[in-house]
Amino acid sequence: MFGLLGTFLALFALAQTPPASCVAGQITPPVTEGPFYKAGSPQRTSLLEPGMAGTKLTITGQVFTRGCRPVAGAWLDFWQADAQGKYDNAGYRLRGHQVTDGTARYTLLTVMPGEYPGRTPHIHVKVRAPNGPVLTTQLYFPGARQNQGDMLFRQELLLQIRDTAAGKAGTFNFVLDSE
């Protein structure tokens, strides 16, 4: 009886473990902010709006210190182009910030960003541990045809992507240069 419960709990724990992991000291590299950041985005985990075009994308992951300590309450601010490659610079469409939960996890519901001239598809993000420095970087998509021709592309910033019934699911764990 106890053994069965133990097995069940172990399986449950396994199901909860994110596929990507943290490697101590392997700090997530920065990438330039670009011209379209706007401070003051709304706090929300879903950037989806009724009628929004594009393939749905859910990104999940955790935020760690450089020693792989999970960071609860880390601030993440996402911004991206829409499926047509356009940024909303007048309002806050496809912009939003959130904080990690008690197990350092975040979830972002959005759409796949489109290409715009000179850039491979990407999602911009700023991440900060409480009282830590801000990491400004970008996330990329495996197999995107413009990755290799984009000067800002970095292999270490590739999402792990899989197809789901609803669209695409991606994972990415951030490792901050924080204690």
Choices 17-25, 26-34, 140-148, 156-164 (CB under 5 A): range interacting with Fe ion: 26-34
- Is residue 114 close enough to count as binding Fe ion by CB under 5 A? no
Choices 19-27, 33-41, 51-59, 141-149 (CB under 5 A): range interacting with Fe ion: 33-41
> How far is Cα of residue 55 from the mean position of the Cα atoms in its chain?
16
> Cβ of residue 125: shortest distance to Fe ion, in angstroms?
11
- C-beta nearest to Fe ion: residue: 34
Exposed, middle or buried, 142 (CB in 10 Å: 0-12/13-18/19+)?
A: exposed
Q: 15 φ, ψ to 5°?
A: -65, -25
In the complex with Fe ion, the residue whose CB is nearer, 38 or 69, is 38
For Fe ion, the binding residue among 30, 34, 54, 70 (CB under 5 A) is 34
d(CA 13, CA 136): 32
| Number of chain positions touching Fe ion (CB under 5 A) | 1
Exposed, middle or buried, 60 (CB in 10 Å: 0-12/13-18/19+)?
A: middle
> Cβ of residue 119: shortest distance to Fe ion, in angstroms?
6
> Cβ of residue 20: shortest distance to Fe ion, in angstroms?
23
d(CA 62, CA 95): 19
Choices 34-42, 51-59, 125-133, 171-179 (CB under 5 A): range interacting with Fe ion: 34-42
Asked whether the beta carbons of 106 and 98 are under 8 A apart, the reply is: yes
> Cβ of residue 152: shortest distance to Fe ion, in angstroms?
9
Asked whether the beta carbons of 100 and 54 are under 8 A apart, the reply is: no
In the complex with Fe ion, the residue whose CB is nearer, 34 or 167, is 34
Exposed, middle or buried, 70 (CB in 10 Å: 0-12/13-18/19+)?
A: middle
Chain residues binding Fe ion by CB under 5 A are: 34
